[in-house]
């Protein structure tokens, strides 16, 4: 991107015919480097709001200002010029898109004074993205973990951003057009789209989605510290959440940078074994469960989508890699669940012990009387069909724990239809057709968890949910 400020004086047309006069009377200078630049990255839509300030010298009268976005992914319909100082003495008269320079515009600025003023140029660009990743290091006893969060910023926008304040937005926004597409539109369409984009910007600002930055937000920052140790400041904003990286960062085009977002020194967690066929398949899986809350030394911000890599101290001055897993957005107070798959030291089996049918109902259609030939007696013939019955199935869920520690087990079974569920364990309904059981198995022990499923069929099936009955189940 290249931005220049042209100051034209009377006599330009005449002076243009004479080389010496031209050099004396035309004051053409490049706009100073950015004083400040702020990037607000909306990752869900490949959208970044850029706000940059410069100090320009104005002369009383009309001052042309040139803005170019060649070889970048800047959306030309979103470019805005505002005045941070002297706004009552500076006015944008018009905006011109020259036909022979397709990636450039001119602003004509009316100034009522001679002197300096701070201007702000804002626009949307595509090509800047960020992602989160997490590293967990569990202790040897698997009771606490050291949890580090990182963010990685990638710049493929075509523009260099030096000493930029960076804000990362967690949340989902929806746009009709993608900025990368808007950046390629012909200039004859810009005027048609410009007002629509301005209206959307004003609407977003009114909703608090794009809060104007105060002058203090653009202050200088110390970059003496290592880049990967940059702190991240968080603030809530409606249904969005903003991470502000402390200080300023330089992100050249085509580069990526990784920065620490938070550090949890001793985050507690617990281990649970789960059987949930619809989520994890027909197997018992081992889980790490922790919560994004204050007692866990987390809970100050939501956690964005990202990849979690888990290691465990093996007790021999080394680390064991356990799993790499993608997690979804984790709100404050919500659980983080890490699935390690089946544990070879915990065996789970479902064994059917017995099946039978009872409680038959018959539907009688009619009767016939006829005489038997041998003794002359009458016999009644009943025409009937089976209208309903109950199917009984008795199972044991056998769990063998070969680990050195007791394990907590949660089992969920989905039972469609009209079902009565009986178990020696106390059961509860997770939803209208899913039963949940919880138990513990001691180390080097086997547990047989008996349960019975009674399915009402035909006429007997008057409901469509699971009914719980506490009863000792006999195989």
- H or E stretch at 274: strand 270-275
Reported as a single tens digit per residue, the pLDDT across 329-362 is 888 899 999 999 999 999 999 999 999 998 888 7
Residues 92 and 219 reside in one and the same domain:
yes
Element holding 180 (H helix, E strand): helix 179-182
Domain end position, chosen among 196, 226, 261: 261
Q: How far apart are CA 26 and CA 286, in angstroms?
A: 75
- Sheet architecture: strand order including 27-30: 27-30, 2-7, 61-68, 104-111, 90-96
253 and 369 assigned to the same domain: no
Same domain (yes/no): 85, 195? yes
Q: Which residues pair with 199 in a beta bridge?
A: none
Q: How far apart are CA 84 and CA 95, in angstroms?
A: 19
Instruction: Flag the least confident range among 84-88, 122-126, 173-177.
Output: 173-177
Question: What pLDDT was estimated at residue 186?
Answer: 61
**The pLDDT value given to residue 216:** 35
332 within some domain: no
Same domain, 224 and 105: yes
Per DSSP, 406 falls in state -
- The domain tally of the chain equals 2
Beta bridge partners of 335: 291
Pair (253, 354) in one structural domain:
no
The sign of the dihedral angle between the CA atoms of 166, 170, 175, 179 is positive
Q: Kindly state whether residue 49 falls inside one of the protein's structural domains.
A: yes
Tell me which residue of 439, 462, 448, 458 sits closest to 394, measured CA to CA.
Answer: 448
| CB atoms near residue 34 (< 10 Å) | 16
Which residues, other chains included, contact 235 with Cβ-Cβ below 8 Å and sequence gap of 6+? 241, 242, 244
- The Cα–Cα gap between 10 and 151 comes to 54
In a domain, 335, yes or no: no
Listed residue (156, 327, 165) closest to 232, CA to CA = 165
Query: Within this chain, do residues 56 and 194 fall inside the same structural domain, yes or no?
Result: yes
Cβ atoms 415, 423 nearer than 8 A:
no
Average pLDDT over residues 362-390: 67
* H-state helical runs in 10-93: 12-15, 19-25
146 occurs within a structural domain: no
Tokens found for residue 177: 């057009």
Q: What is the pLDDT of residue 1?
A: 56
Task: Give the residue, 2 or 67, on which the prediction is more confident.
Answer: 67
254 and 365 inside one domain: no
Same structural domain, 256 and 397: no
Residues in the chain: 475
Q: Is 459 helix (H, G, I), strand (E, B) or coil?
A: coil
Q: What is the pLDDT of residue 339?
A: 96
Looking at residue 132, its pLDDT comes to 93
From the number of C-beta atoms within 10 Å of its C-beta (0-12, 13-18, 19+), residue 332 rates as: middle
The token duo for 102 is 């397709």
Boundary of a domain, candidates 232, 261, 290? 261
Q: What is the mean pLDDT of residues 369-387?
A: 63
Residues 6+ positions from 7 with CB-CB distance below 8 Å: 27, 28, 29, 57, 59, 63
Judged by average pLDDT, the poorest of 38-42, 44-48, 119-123 is 44-48
Q: What does the pLDDT look like over 60-80, one tens digit per residue?
A: 999 999 888 889 999 988 999
- Note down the domain range covering 162: 1-130+151-261
Per-residue pLDDT, averaged over 237-259, amounts to 82
Residue 130 or residue 377, greater confidence: 130
Is residue 442 one of the residues assigned to a domain?
yes
pLDDT of residue 475: 75
Q: Are residues 250 and 373 in the same domain?
A: no
Domain match, 354 and 253 both = no
449: its two tokens: 């968890």
Q: Which of 256, 212, 257, 254 is CA-nearest to residue 230?
A: 257
Quick check: is 341 in a domain? no
User: How many other C-beta atoms are found inside a 10 Å radius of the C-beta of residue 80?
Assistant: 16
Same domain, 228 and 103: yes
Domain-embedded: residue 237:
yes
Question: Is the full-model pTM beyond 0.75?
Answer: no
- Rounded Cα gap, residues 50 and 248, in angstroms: 14
Query: In whole angstroms, what is the distance from residue 210 CA to residue 220 CA?
Result: 22
Give tens-digit pLDDT for 273-312. Answer: 999 999 999 999 999 999 999 888 887 788 888 999 999 9
CATH number for 155: 2.60.40
- Pick the last residue of a domain from 261, 279, 303: 261
Residue 289: inside a domain, yes or no? Answer: no
| DSSP string computed for 363-395 | EEEEEEEEE-TTT--EEEEEEEEEEEEEEEEEE
């Amino acid at each position: 991107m290249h931005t220049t400020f042209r100051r034209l004086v009377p006599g330009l047309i005449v002076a243009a015919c004479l080389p010496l006069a031209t050099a004396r009377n035309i004051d053409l200078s490049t706009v100073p480097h950015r004083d400040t630049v702020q990037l607000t990255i909306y990752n869900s839509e490949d959208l970044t709001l850029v706000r940059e300030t410069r100090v320009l010298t104005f002369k009383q009268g009309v001052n042309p200002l040139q803005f170019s976005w060649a070889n970048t992914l800047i959306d030309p319909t979103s470019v805005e010029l505002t005045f941070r100082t002297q706004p009552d003495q500076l006015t944008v008269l018009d905006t011109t898109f020259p036909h022979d320079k397709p990636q450039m515009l001119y602003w004509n600025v009316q100034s009522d004074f001679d002197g300096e003023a701070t201007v702000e140029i804002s626009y949307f660009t595509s090509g800047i993205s960020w992602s989160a990743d997490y590293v967990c290091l569990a202790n040897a006893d698997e009771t606490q973990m050291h949890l580090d969060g990182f963010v990685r910023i990638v710049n493929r926008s075509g523009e260099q951003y030096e000493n930029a304040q960076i804000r990362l937005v967690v949340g989902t926004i929806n746009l009709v057009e993608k900025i990368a597409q808007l950046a390629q539109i012909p200039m004859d369409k810009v005027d048609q789209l410009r007002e629509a984009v301005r209206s959307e910007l004003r609407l977003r600002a009114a909703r608090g989605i794009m809060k104007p930055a105060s002058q203090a937000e653009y202050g200088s920052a110390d970059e003496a510290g290592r880049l990967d140790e940059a702190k991240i400041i968080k603030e809530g904003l409606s249904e969005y959440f903003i991470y502000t990286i402390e200080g300023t960062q330089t992100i050249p085009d085509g580069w990526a940078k990784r920065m620490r977002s938070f550090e949890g020194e001793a985050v507690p967690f617990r281990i649970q074994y789960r059987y949930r066929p619809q989520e994890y398949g027909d197997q018992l899986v081992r889980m790490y469960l922790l919560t994004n809350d204050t007692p866990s030394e987390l809970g100050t911000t939501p956690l964005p989508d990202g990849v979690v890599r888990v290691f465990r101290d093996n007790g021999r001055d080394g680390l064991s890699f356990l799993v790499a897993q993608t997690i979804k957005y984790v709100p404050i107070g919500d659980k983080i669940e890490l699935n390690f798959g089946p544990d070879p030291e915990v065996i789970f089996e479902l064994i059917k012990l017995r099946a039978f049918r009872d409680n038959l109902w018959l539907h009688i259609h009619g009767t016939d009387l006829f005489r038997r030939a041998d003794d002359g007696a009458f016999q009644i013939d009943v025409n009937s069909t089976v209208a309903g019955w109950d199917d009984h199935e008795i199972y044991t869920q056998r769990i063998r724990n070969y680990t050195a520690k007791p394990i907590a087990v949660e089992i969920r079974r989905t039972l469609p239809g009209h079902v009565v569920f009986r178990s020696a364990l106390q059961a509860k309904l997770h939803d209208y057709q899913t039963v949940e059981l919880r138990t513990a198995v001691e180390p080097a022990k086997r547990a047989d968890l008996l349960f019975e499923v009674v399915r009402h069929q035909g006429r007997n099936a008057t409901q469509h949910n699971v009914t719980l009955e506490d009863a000792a189940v006999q195989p």
